[in-house]
Chain A
């Protein structure tokens, strides 16, 4: 019997023996996997969980599981609370930076412009009842109606764009706030998890209390003193996640 096989029989758990099965660096747990699929497959499968990237906070699979247990799932891509989205990305994102959560203002904040747009759609029906406009020729009226519908569409479209691209992002390294006020005014603010000092949320008013949305204030020790996530859904969960990430970062930092 070869010497190596002999040793295998004596001490099968001895890691010094040559094995044909590669040892995975990731510890598999017995619990049901509920982490949503990763948007980008890791380029290097041998990344060790013990060697975190610079600024990376969630390297441990157990911690990831804990984070996604708190956040739950998101089904609709148009949701205001997107957990680990498959497609979403932003220009300043690092290649291996994982997006944990994308926040947009709560859908209830869209209600006013949706109602106004619907009312605007029906305004041309009132045209025959406005005597002063009856003096205009029919061809002028048809052009005016087309003009009105275009303005209505532009109004609704602009409001939708403002909502859709007003995003706050929590990644594995930082928090990001992207605001577009108009074409010439784009505001990008970010802060590393490490520099977050305090996270608070504020829910005020009837609608915010009923629909559970509010403002999250992230105070940092960086040049940008404060990041504000306005009218985001589930502010309590956002605060909890940021607190967990901050705690995890400090725990890892203290271990080193």
Chain B
């Protein structure tokens, strides 16, 4: 019996998206760490805003992982 190629392709797409989202989540952690480290060395008026943005980005990245796991 021939395996269904389209189902394999769909699985590969799903794995590709999930892996991509997880790697992106790690990258978001790096951005948060980078922003907090930079803010520790240089203090300026917008540091808290930048840290907030980096955490928001992390939250959306986490949401992306959830989306790929649930929707796909």
Contacts and interface: CB of A to CB of B under 8 A. Distances in A.
A178 B43 CA distance: 12
Q: Which 6 A-B pairs have the closest CB atoms?
A: A89-B43, A165-B38, A183-B34, A87-B45, A77-B45, A91-B41
Given A136-B13, A154-B31, A157-B57, 4 more contacts: A90-B42, A160-B50, A161-B38, A183-B33
A167 B43 CA distance: 11
A140 interface: yes
Contacts of A88: 42-45
Contact of A87 (B28, B44, B50): B44
A154 B45 CA distance: 21
B20 A147 contact: yes
Contacts of B54: 157
A168 B62 CA distance: 36
B43 A90 contact: yes
A180 B27 CA distance: 17
A77 B46 contact: yes
Contacts of B50: 160-161, 164
B30 A90 contact: no
Given A143-B68, A183-B34, A154 B42 contact: no
A78 B46 contact: yes
A140 B31 contact: no
Nearest to A146: B64
Contact of A146 (B35, B44, B53, B67): B67
A3 interface: no
